[in-house]
Amino acid sequence: MAIPAIIRAMRPHHWLKNGLVFVPILLNHDVFDVHAVAYGAIAFISFSLLASSIYLLNDIVDVEADRRHPTKCKRPLAAGEITKAQAYAMVPGLMIVAFGLAWFLPRPDLYLLALGAYLVLALAYLFFLKRKLLVDVLGLAALHTLRILAGNAAAAIPLSSWLLAFSMFLFLSLALVKRYAELRITQDQSGLKKAGRGYHAEDIEALSQLGMASGCTCALIMALYVDSAAVKELYRYPQLIWLICPIVLYQMARIWFMARRGQMPDDPLVFMIRDWRSQLMGAVVVVIMVAASVLP
pLDDT digits 0-9 by tens, 146-190: 999 999 999 999 888 899 999 999 999 999 998 898 888 766 444
* Section 90-116 average pLDDT: 93
Radius of gyration of the chain measured on its C-alpha atoms: 20
The pLDDT score that the predictor gives to residue 194 is 44
Long-range contacts of 82-89 (CB under 8 A, 24+ apart): 82/1, 82/2, 82/5, 82/6, 82/9, 84/60, 86/1, 86/2, 86/6, 87/6, 87/9, 87/56, 87/57, 87/59, 87/60, 88/56, 88/60
Residue ranges in 69-134 assigned as alpha helix (H):
84-100, 108-127
- The crossing angle, in degrees rounded to 10, of helices 204-226 and 161-185 is 160
Domain ranges of the chain: 1-159, 160-296
Measured between alpha carbons, how far is residue 216 from residues 140, 168, 221 in Å? 19, 12, 9
* Section 113-123 average pLDDT: 95
More confident residue, 206 or 73: 206
Question: What percent of the chain clears pLDDT 70, i.e. is strictly above it?
Answer: 94
* Section 270-296 average pLDDT: 89
* Section 14-27 average pLDDT: 91
Residues in the chain: 296
- The crossing angle, in degrees rounded to 10, of helices 108-127 and 135-154 is 160
* Least confident range of 42-56, 58-72, 85-99, 112-126: 58-72
The pLDDT score that the predictor gives to residue 14 is 84
pTM across the whole model: 0.87
| Architecture in CATH for domain 1-159 | Orthogonal Bundle (1.10)
- Give the three-class secondary structure for 296: coil
